[in-house]
Amino acid sequence: MFRKILIANRGEIALRIIWACKELGIKTVAVHSTADENSLHVRFANEAVCIGPPHNKDSYLSVQSVIAAAEITDADAIHPGYGFLAESAHFAEVCKECGLTFIGPEPAVIRSMGDKAEARRTMDRAGVPTIPGSDGIVPDVEEALKLAGPIGYPVLLKASAGGGGKGMRIVESDDDMERLFTSAANESMNAFGNSELYMEKYILEPRHVEFQILGDTHGNLVHLFERECSIQRRHQKLIEESPSTALDEDLRARMAATAIKAAKAVDYTNAGTVEFLLDARGEFFFIEMNTRIQVEHPVTEMVTGIDLIKEQIRVAAGEPIGFAQDEVRIAAHAIECRVNAEHSETFAPSPGRITTFHPPGGPGIRVDTAAYAEAVIPPYYDSMIAKVISCGNTRGEAILRMRRALESFVIEGIHTNIALQRRILADEDFVRGRLSTAFMERFLGPGKKVSA
């Protein structure tokens, strides 16, 4: 087992990793920018190293600075959390070259699954169903127009090198193609340094369902069932839950088997997620594989009782997975709401100082956060303040507990999206489990686009 782990991240996920390390008897090193010098992950780690000024590229995205911090503190492993360098194959390679264990999959897997066109080809070869689309990169507008006809409008242009909705455009007709192709390519270049796009059929109002997987170096590969992630704004998830209301036992088993097949196709190790679109007929299609722990991993932990962060660390240390597939059970229903520093109506970012912070509690409630009264939410990073997770014996109980939790969550000094989350939880379609990726478009109504 590791002696000391450096956490190459910040905020609530850094704290989450620290808690897991404490339970495993492992010392921790926090890295931080000058903007985060008073953060809780800095306070509760055994050691802390400042790695640069506030902007990502000068601190949390600086491979040289992170590696130097690991070397001067004599860490023997690095946990990247999510975001920042978590899906950087280059960073994983540098860790290996420097004798540091990267707590995640092999660099080659990160690279192949991070290239969305290559990931699609890999899944096609493995017999995993994919959405009809281009066979690799679409080089220019002329080729895009040739491909769109046989695929059938609407089509979706997607950045090959990225995710999170960047470099993504829905094209309804030939007339829109040139403008939207150029727009998607430019956005992809700005976000990822790569303008390459690929194309796929746009499926109207599907559900977004992902399966949590975990593999070790002993040949064991398991799934921990699904998470429903259909409630999104600008392709960013707002609410996740497990199990999905759309899956019966047969469909769940088929999707789980396909997720395992996808993971086996790349010899996957450590924690990851296989993501699908599920249409109204019950057909599902691979969309991507996330080669890291997900923001919404607590949903799975609450439902199965398995600590994913500790399993990540054990697997990276060479230990086998601590349970067999037939031991994994869906023992409850869990829902996660992401609380962000943004206005509930305008979605404008709201950085600043928190003057009052009172997180909810009570039966079936978990709050993952690094916020506190007088903490400053800086403008440089993701706006998420906290994740509220409710758990109940039924979905109805989980919804009621989440409503109670959001009603008693007090954050003052900045705007948050708690009011928006409460409205969603009261929506009849949500309560009845009638979900799709178009949910927020309908919910916000005319004049309030999801992309606003």
The helix (run of H) or strand (run of E) holding residue 301 is helix 297-304
- By residue count, the chain amounts to 452
The answer to whether the bond into 154 is cis (omega within 30° of 0) is yes
CA angle, residues 418, 424, 427, in degrees to nearest 5: 145
Integer Cα distance of 254 and 276 in angstroms = 12
Could you tell me if 74 and 87 are in contact, meaning their C-beta atoms sit under 8 angstroms apart?
A: no
Q: For residue 33, which of 71, 64, 59 has the smallest C-alpha distance? A: 59
Active-site annotation holder among 10, 169, 292, 338:
292
> Does residue 338 carry a catalytic annotation?
no
Largest CA distance in the chain: 61
Sign for the pseudo-dihedral over CA of 12, 187, 380, 355: negative
Could you tell me if 246 and 435 are in contact, meaning their C-beta atoms sit under 8 angstroms apart?
A: yes
Phi and psi at residue 294, in whole multiples of 5°?
Answer: -100, 155
Looking from the CA of 30 toward its CB, the CA atoms found within 13 Å total 26
- SS3 for 43-54 is HHCCEEEEEECC
Beta bridge partners of residue 410, listed in sequence order: 358
Q: For residue 424, which of 238, 241, 167 has the smallest C-alpha distance? A: 238
Residue type, 162: G
Phi and psi at residue 321, in whole multiples of 5°?
Answer: -55, 140
Integer Cα distance of 301 and 224 in angstroms = 9
Sign for the pseudo-dihedral over CA of 48, 49, 51, 54: positive
Could you tell me if 16 and 39 are in contact, meaning their C-beta atoms sit under 8 angstroms apart?
A: no
Residue numbers annotated as active site:
292
